Amino acid sequence: MATNKNKFFATWFLSSSEINSILAKTNSSVRDSKEIVNSIDIQRSKKSSTKIKIIDIKETNFKAKLMVISDSSKIFLGIAPKFGHTGATLSEIVKSYNAVGGINAGGFLDDNLMGTGSKPDGIVISNDVVKFKQSGLNKFNVIGFNKNNILIIGNSMTMGEIYNSNLKCAISFGPALVLNGKPLVTKGGTSLQPRSAIGQRKDGTVLLLAVDGREHDSAGANYIDTQDIMLKYGAYNAANLDGGSSTTLNYLGKTINNPCDIAGERSIATAFLIAP
C-alpha cells in the first residue's frame, strides 16, 4: 500500500476495511507545525569549503548512505531534460547538468501507473523561476533553498509566502522531520520503506540521505528512523523527500545506493543536485 504501482495486490486478499485497519496501526504520527525555518539560526556556508563526504550507515532494519556537503551554495534543483513531457533517471539528470551528484527530490503524479515521472505535483522552482504549479492548489508544502542558500521547509505555504521566502529552488513533498532543531515525528509506525531526505546543519552544511529498502538485507526505514538519522548527524532542519522506488543517490557519475526497482533507476521529474 506504500507503493505507487502495487497497491492492487493487497486488494486481492483483503477488504478495504481490513486494509484500513492495518494501515491505522502502522501510520506515523507527525506533529503538524505551522512554523517555517528560522533562517537567522543558520550560518551561511563558507564558499571556500568544497568538501563532500560519504558516510555508510548500517542499522538493524536498513543500510543507508549519507552525503555531507559543506558548501550549501552548491545545491540547486535540476529538472528532467524533457520536464513536463517525460521524466529521467537521476543519473541522466546529473549528467545533463554536469553535476557532481545529487538525490531525487519531489514527487510526481502517476495517473496511468506507468511511473514515468512526467508530471510533477505541487510546485517546482528552479533557477529562481516557477517551472510548474499544480492546478487547483493555492497552498503548497515546500522544501527548497533561498537565495542565501538556507534550506526552507514550510507546510501549506501560499504563493505570496513562497515569493516572500526568496526561493531559488523548491519542490513539494514531506513531511517535515526536523524544524528549527525540534523533531516533529512522535510515532514511527512499522512501514519500512526506502527513504530519501534532505537536511541542513546550523553551520549551513547540507545532508542528503538515501535509505535502501525492500531488500533482503535492508527492509527500509520509517519516518522516525529517518528523523533520528538526520538528528544524529546534526540536522537543524530536515524533510522527507520522495522515497520508495524513487530513492536514488548519485556521486561522481555513479549511483551509490541500491534503488529497489527491479528495472534499476526510476524516472523522476526533479532532483537536488550539487554544482561542480
> Do you know the residue count of the chain?
276
**Cα–Cα distance between 192 and 210 in angstroms, integer?**
13
**Cα–Cα distance between 165 and 180 in angstroms, integer?**
16
Q: Which residues of 173-212 are buried (b: 16+ CB within 10 A; e: fewer)?
A: bbbbbbbeeebbbeebbebbbbbbbbbbbeebbbbbbbbb
Tens of each residue's pLDDT in the chain, 276 residues: 666 556 666 777 888 777 677 666 655 555 555 566 777 889 866 565 679 999 999 999 999 999 999 999 999 999 999 998 899 999 999 999 999 999 999 998 866 555 567 789 999 999 999 999 999 999 999 999 999 999 999 989 999 999 999 999 999 999 999 999 999 998 766 689 999 999 999 999 999 999 999 999 999 999 999 999 999 999 999 999 999 999 999 999 999 999 998 888 999 999 999 999
**Rounded to two decimals, what is the model's pTM?**
0.89
**Cα–Cα distance between 37 and 201 in angstroms, integer?**
12
**Cα–Cα distance between 29 and 104 in angstroms, integer?**
24
Closest to 224 in 3D by CA, of 208, 200, 240? 240
**The C-alpha cell that represents 34 in the structure block:** 505551522
Closest to 93 in 3D by CA, of 263, 273, 276, 261? 273
The secondary structure element, H or E, covering residue 68 is strand 63-69
Spell out the domain ranges in the chain.
8-274
